[in-house]
Amino acid sequence: MNGNPGQDLFVLLSGVAILLVVATVAGQILRERFSPDGTNAVIENLNARILSWWGMVTLLALAFLAGRTGVVLLFAFCSFAALRESLTLTAKDRADHWSLVACFYLILPFQYWLVWTDWYGLYSVFIPVYAFLFLPILAALRGTPQGFLTRVSETQWALMISVFCISHVPALLSLRIAGFEGKNVLLIAWLVFTVQFSDVMQYVWGKLLGRRRIAPSLSPSKTWEGFVGGTLTASAAGALLWWITPFPPAEAFALALVVTLLGFGGGLVLSAVKRDRGVKDWGSLIAGHGGFIDRLDSVIFAAPVFFHLVRYFWSST
pLDDT tens readout for residues 166-195: 999 999 999 999 989 889 999 999 999 999
CB 245 within 8 A of CB 190: yes
Q: Best-predicted range by mean pLDDT among 62-76, 230-244, 277-291, 292-306?
A: 230-244
Task: Check residues 1 and 100 and name the one with the higher pLDDT.
Answer: 100
Of the candidate ranges 72-76, 95-99, 128-132, 308-312, the one whose mean pLDDT is the lowest: 95-99
Q: So what's the pLDDT on residue 288?
A: 47
Give the span between the Cα atoms of 125 and 136, in whole angstroms.
17
- Using a 10 angstrom Cβ sphere, with 0-12 exposed, 13-18 middle and 19 or more buried, the burial of residue 71 is buried
The pLDDT-based confidence of 289 (bands split at 50, 70, 90) is low
- Does 118 score more than 50 pLDDT? yes
pLDDT over threshold 60, residue 314: yes
Any idea which of 122-131, 148-157, 199-208 has the lowest mean pLDDT? 199-208
Give the SS3 label for residue 104.
helix
Q: Distance from first CA to last CA of the chain, Å, rounded? A: 20
Confidence class of residue 286 from pLDDT cuts 50, 70 and 90?
A: low
Does the pLDDT value for residue 303 go beyond 90? yes
Position 224 pLDDT exceeds 80: yes
Q: Which of 55-59, 68-72, 236-240 has the lowest mean pLDDT?
A: 55-59
**Any idea what the Cα angle at residue 238 is, between residues 237 and 241, rounded to 5°?**
90
Q: Give mean pLDDT, residues 291-301.
A: 87
Q: What percent of the chain has pLDDT over 90?
A: 56
- Average pLDDT, integer, range 34-58: 79
Q: Which amino acid is at 194?
A: T
Q: What pLDDT, on the 0 to 100 scale, is given for residue 305?
A: 97
What is the pTM for the complete model shown? 0.90
